[in-house]
């Protein structure tokens, strides 16, 4: 641990890189000699323009995307996107395909149905309690998009390769694994991510939307949904550089610093992926080799971001979580909907943290 900080395994809001937190701390009262904090600064100022534009530029470089992708910052988290997507992209007579891999996919499906949009749930892993990612899915060629959740924080599953949709654009909720690995962006018409799991504090959602998807939205707004409020339209954000209204200035600034850390200290997404694979492999290997702990996700679908596991009894799980807290490890309690234990090992979680967790797990299992 550093400076009396715990090892933070929270699922979200979650750990941020220590260098980012230190830079925020050092500049908090006087941002770049402006005489004020960034959170006091006008979002119309040249200084904040620089923050937004640099965050966009770093996003483009890290994901290797050009101007045909629009980088937007929208409030309301990923949960608002569950509704905004069908509102903007599904008109009368059109439909979309959804893959249900658990809680967040289920909520996205529910929102689309609430809006009375036509969607097809083309695959689901509900038959095995969402412990795996479906494969060999048959998609509808006339679907406007295919919606997936790339990583399930609650069930501990992750898409390790993305499906062949025969040219139908993928829209992916990447809240919990964005920037954890390189992406073949040509497959995606849109990705979105609530910042609080892997790229920043809660309150801002990063949306990356391709030209053709934005045009689909604009055409639909012109022809059918003219009464859709401005704040629920993607073109409101794309045309105003995400500053139609006052954005989450602090959230965007913190995201900028996380992306700077990824670029300049980690060295890009390929190196970040290698780190994440090493951390995940180490923890899963220990669990698989133990007679005391049991991973809950099927091996081929296991998440490198959220490692979910059980102990022999719920009583032992409670004791484990309590003892872990006393030993400087926080956030190991599983989601309230499933119980058990969960170690979220996002980008900012260090190898030191994973090694400390394994050492504690060994000690707890043996009573030594």
Question: Which of the residues are catalytic?
Answer: 104, 173, 197
The CA radius of gyration of the chain, in Å to the nearest whole number, is 21
Tell me the pairing of strands 329-330 and 7-8: parallel
Rounded to an integer, what distance in angstroms lies between the CA atom of residue 106 and that of residue 122? 13
Residues 6+ apart with CB under 8 A from 298: 128, 131, 132, 157
> Residues 103, 80: contact at Cβ < 8 Å?
no
**Dist CA 197 CA 177 (whole Å):** 8
CA atoms in the 13 A half-sphere facing the CB of 300: 5
């Amino acid at each position: 641990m550093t400076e009396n900080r715990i090892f933070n395994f929270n699922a979200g809001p979650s750990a941020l890189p220590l260098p980012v937190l230190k830079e925020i701390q050092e500049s908090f009262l006087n941002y770049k000699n402006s005489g004020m904090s960034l959170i006091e600064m006008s979002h119309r100022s040249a200084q904040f323009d620089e923050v937004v534009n640099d965050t966009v530029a770093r996003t483009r470089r890290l994901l290797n995307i050009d101007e045909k992708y629009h980088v937007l910052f929208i409030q309301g988290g990923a949960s608002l996107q569950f509704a905004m997507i069908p509102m903007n992209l599904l008109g009368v007579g059109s439909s979309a395909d959804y893959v249900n891999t658990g809680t967040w996919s289920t909520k996205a499906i529910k929102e689309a149905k609430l809006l009375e949009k036509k969607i097809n749930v083309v695959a689901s892993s509900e038959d095995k309690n969402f412990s795996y990612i479906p494969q060999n899915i048959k998609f509808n060629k006339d679907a406007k998009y295919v919606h997936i959740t790339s990583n399930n924080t609650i069930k501990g599953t992750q898409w390790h390769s993305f499906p062949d949709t025969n040219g139908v654009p993928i829209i992916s909720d990447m809240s919990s694994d964005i920037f954890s690995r390189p992406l073949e962006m040509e497959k995606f018409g849109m990705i979105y991510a609530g910042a609080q799991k892997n790229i920043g504090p809660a309150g801002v959602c990063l949306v990356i939307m391709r030209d053709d998807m934005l045009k689909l939205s604009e055409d639909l707004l012109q022809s059918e949904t003219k009464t859709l409020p401005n704040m629920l339209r993607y073109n409101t954000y794309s045309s105003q550089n995400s500053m139609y209204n006052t954005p989450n200035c602090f959230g965007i600034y913190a995201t900028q610093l996380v992306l700077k850390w990824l670029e300049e200290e980690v060295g890009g997404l390929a190196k970040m992926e290698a780190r994440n694979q090493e951390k995940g492999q180490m923890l899963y290997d220990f669990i698989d080799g133990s007679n005391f702990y049991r991973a809950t996700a099927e091996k081929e679908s296991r998440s490198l971001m959220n490692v979910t596991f059980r102990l022999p009894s719920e009583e032992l799980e409670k004791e484990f979580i309590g003892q872990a807290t006393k030993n400087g490890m926080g956030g190991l309690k599983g989601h309230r909907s499933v119980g058990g234990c969960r170690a979220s090992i996002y980008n900012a979680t260090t190898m030191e943290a994973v090694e400390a967790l394994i050492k504690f797990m060994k000690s707890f299992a043996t009573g030594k």
